[in-house]
Amino acid sequence: MNFPRLRGWFEERYDLTDVAAAVKKKFVPVHSREIWYYTGGIVLFLFIIQFFSGLALAFYYIPYFEAAHKSVIDIVTKLNMGWFFRSLHHWGAQLTILVMFVHVFATLLLKSYRKPRELQWVSGFFLLGICIFFGLSGYFLLWDERAFAAVRVATGGAGNLPIFGAWIKAFLRGGIDVTGETLTRFYAFHVSVLPLLTLAVLGVHLLLVQLHGMSVPLSQKGKTQRQVPFFPNAFCRDLMIWLVVLGIVVTLATLLPPDIAKKADPLAPPPENVKPEWYFLFLFQTLKLFPGTLAGMNGETIAIVFISLAIMFLFLMPFFDKKSSSGERSPLFTCIGLGYLLYFVVMTIVGYFT
């Protein structure tokens, strides 16, 4: 299956030999830690699944608060394979966020953020924020009790930031309280603003990968580097892993379709023991750790400031970690990274079981 005449037609018009040569020059290092190289690609693939399944759902979802809940139920019950695409989108989202956290912590602990890849880390951090906001806005579109309560807490929490808090809260909510306006706004975020932002930032992130190549962990320094060409060797491996991921998502979607709670009522109290989605649990637990007032100031504000500082520090890690920037091992920052990971995992588990 060579289609020589078709290729001939193309080659008479477009000279892609430079592009082909550049692609052939892409190499991927081979070493004991190379499995972590594939996490980024998996997140990309899951994003693409989300894009397509979300696109399908957008054909039928109605973003008006009176009709939103019912439209989801109609999708699930009345359409050909509707339940499957909604389930696929739900599980795709869960896995995307999970693998994204794996990717973040892998790059953190393997110190891929060190010089010269600082901007890689920065763009990746933006993508993390975008992804989490995708999760929050998408979950809200169900307009059920749990989602409503979750968004109330989340936007309320954001509102506790000093100085910017009230402004952010008003921007997200589209008003003083969470209403149908919020739904319209979140829908615009979820299907338009965030995808466009993702395309832009992801483009930068991927371009930087092409420019820098793959980072080799400090532990491999000094060992002779074996390399394989990206195309086709690592690309085939990528494809196989992506197909397995597809199988996992489809299986989860088929066997464990998600349910939907009662329609949201802005005037009703939140349901018993309401909890946010699992990727917010660690924040939720952290908030619970702080008392109502501390040294005369609002406990929540202090909690939010503390969390913001921790996130800021993580964001600026490449610039604080001088040792790894100069190529030396940096056990202090490995410990800090492990600390973040442990805190995240432990708080999530605690949040899940209480």
Partner 1 sequence: MNKFLLILGFLLGPGQTVLAEERIALIPPSAYDRAAIYLNLALFWVALIVLIVLIRLKLREIERVQAMDAGRDDENIPMLD
Partner 2 sequence: MKIDYSLVTRRTFLNTLLGGWLASFAFGSFYALYRFAFPTLGKEPDFVVLKPEAFFSIPVNSTKPFPWGGKVGLFFKTADNRMKALKGVCSHMECNIVYKPEDRRFYCPCHKGWFDENGRNVQGPPPKPLEFFEYRVEDRKLIVYRKGVKVELPKA
Interface positions with partner 1 (CB under 8 A): 4-5, 73, 76-78, 80-81, 83, 232-233, 236-237, 239-240, 243-244, 246-247, 250-251, 254-255, 257-262
Closest distance to partner 1 from the beta carbon of 262 (Å): 5
Judged by CB, which is closer to partner 1: 119, or 261? 261
Q: Are 173 and 182 in contact (CB under 8 A)?
A: yes
Q: Provide φ and ψ at 154, rounded to 5°.
A: -65, -50
Q: Enter the tokens of residue 54.
A: 């979300």
Task: Kindly identify the residues of this chain, within the stretch 330-349, that bind partner 2 according to CB under 8 A.
Answer: none
Q: Are 296 and 304 in contact (CB under 8 A)?
A: no
Contact partner, 296, from partner 1, partner 2, none, Cβ < 5-8 Å per class: none
Judged by CB, which is closer to partner 1: 259, or 272? 259
Question: What are residue 29's DSSP bridge partners?
Answer: 227
Roughly what angle, to the nearest 10 degrees, separates helices 145-158 and 180-188? Answer: 80
314 binds partner 2 (CB under 8 A): no
DSSP sequence for 135-180: HHHHHHTT-BHHHHHHHHHHHHHHTTSTTTHHHHHHHHHTSSS--H
Considering only the stretches 6-14, 79-87, 226-234, 325-333, report the one whose residues sit in contact with partner 2 under the rule CB under 8 A: 79-87
56 binds partner 2 (CB under 8 A): yes
Using CB under 8 A, pick the residue from 22, 81, 248, 345 that binds partner 2: 81
Using CB under 8 A, pick the residue from 82, 174, 195, 351 that binds partner 2: 82
How crowded is residue 186: how many other Cβ atoms within 10 Å of its Cβ? 28
Judged by CB, which is closer to partner 2: 60, or 126? 60
Closest distance to partner 2 from the beta carbon of 252 (Å): 16
Using CB under 8 A, pick the residue from 30, 79, 204, 350 that binds partner 2: 79
Residue 318: strand, helix, or coil: helix
Interface size with partner 2, residues (CB under 8 A): 12
DSSP sequence for 206-269: HHHHHHH-PPPPGGGTTSPPEEEEIIIIIHHHHHHHHHHHHHHHHHHHHHS-----PBP-TTSP
84 binds partner 2 (CB under 8 A): yes
Judged by CB, which is closer to partner 2: 79, or 216? 79
1 binds partner 2 (CB under 8 A): yes
Judged by CB, which is closer to partner 1: 84, or 343? 84
Helix and strand numbers (H, E) in the chain are: 16, 4
Residue 29: strand, helix, or coil: strand
Torsion 54-39-131-192 (CA) sign = negative
Residue 293: strand, helix, or coil: strand
Judged by CB, which is closer to partner 2: 243, or 294? 243
Considering only the stretches 77-85, 140-148, 175-183, 316-324, report the one whose residues sit in contact with partner 2 under the rule CB under 8 A: 77-85
Judged by CB, which is closer to partner 1: 127, or 234? 234
Considering only the stretches 54-62, 104-112, 158-166, 256-264, report the one whose residues sit in contact with partner 2 under the rule CB under 8 A: 54-62
Contact residues for partner 2, defined by CB under 8 A: 1-2, 52, 56, 59-60, 79-82, 84-85
